[in-house]
Structure 1
Amino acid sequence: MKKEQVLNQAVADLSQFATVIHQAHWYMRGNGFLTMHPKMDELMDEVNDWLDEIAERLITIGGSPYSTLQEFADNTKIEDEKGSYDKSMTDHLETILKGYRYIQGLAEEGIEAADDEDDAVTEDIFIGIKGAVEKKIWMLTAQLGRAPEIN
């Protein structure tokens, strides 16, 4: 994939992922609520910051980021599912962890595409996101009582 394609894929996926996290924020109940509910705000803020940085980079290099809900829905590779109070706190965290693992892989694609096209700035953006995502994977898996298993 070309770097512009990876950047736009990231726009769609980060938009969807912010919604997935927001859904967990709204629908979580149970043990850990008092700490995990505000943590979701932090996660959403960070994902939205990445989204803005990626979209602005795409514009800077002459691209056009997706900008409608329909474009996000049509192009994201992150699954959509209806919110439910029946999900446990663990289920919500597993869903978010799955999203972070996907974003980790997408960041790796972005790093490779940017390197292939000698775009150190885009590569640096994806490297920063990958490092932050790996830290979130570590934290979420630790919360779930497991090792991060980061490759």
Structure 2
Amino acid sequence: MSNVKTQEVLNQAVADLSQFSVVIHQAHWYMRGKSFLTLHPKMDEFMDGINDHLDVVAERLITIGGSPYSTLKEFAEHTKIKDQPGSYEKTMDDHLNNLLEGYRYLRELCAKGIEVTEEENDHVSQDIFIGMKADIEKTIWMLSAELGKAPNL
């Protein structure tokens, strides 16, 4: 059975997870204000989580015969997560809302991955997307709670 769509969605995840790690890092560097002492180290946890998912996704892609994007140029050309210049003018809520938007996008990418891997009967890759989606939804809940909102999943 062909796994072309599974390879494509895994590689999309490689580009997006790589880009999103940079977005989180930017928030880590540029945040100022209330909750800094709590949120600054939390960004390290978020980056570690994203990078852990990235490694699993890339290794799965290699395992099934694919070639993960591996250059900054490839990540930039293929990611669907926008970047923007860092700014000290952004509030803590601005940073968190930006992260929330990125996590919501990744949640939808995982949903697509779950569909594609089911179609191509790759339950190992599907399990990776299911686990990542669960982790991302928990993070969406936490970020939403910090912002005084419901997660609206």
Give me the TM-score of the superposition, normalised by structure 1.
Answer: 0.98
- Counterparts of 1:35 and 1:115 in 2: how far apart (Å)? 40
Residue of structure 1 equivalent to 2:12: 9
1:90-101 alignment runs, 5 A limit = 90-101=93-104
SS of 2:66's equivalent in the other structure is coil
2:133 to 130, 144, 150: 130
1:26-41 alignment runs, 5 A limit = 26-41=29-44
SS of 1:83's equivalent in the other structure is coil
Residue of structure 1 equivalent to 2:47: 44
Per-residue deviation, 1:113: 0.5
Unaligned runs of 5+ in 2: none
Per-residue deviation, 1:139: 0.4
Aligned residue identity for 1:122: S
1:143 aligns with 2:134: no
Residue of structure 1 equivalent to 2:75: 72
- Counterparts of 2:85 and 2:56 in 1: how far apart (Å)? 28
Residue of structure 2 equivalent to 1:114: 117
Per-residue deviation, 1:81: 0.4
Give me the TM-score of the superposition, normalised by structure 2.
Answer: 0.97
1:54 aligns with 2:57: yes
- Counterparts of 2:52 and 2:112 in 1: how far apart (Å)? 19
Q: Once the two structures are aligned, what percentage of the paired residues are identical? A: 65
- Counterparts of 1:75 and 1:46 in 2: how far apart (Å)? 21
Per-residue deviation, 1:48: 0.2
Residue of structure 1 equivalent to 2:90: 87
Count of residues paired in the alignment: 150
- Counterparts of 2:50 and 2:136 in 1: how far apart (Å)? 10
RMSD (Å) for aligned C-alpha atoms = 0.7
Per-residue deviation, 1:78: 0.2
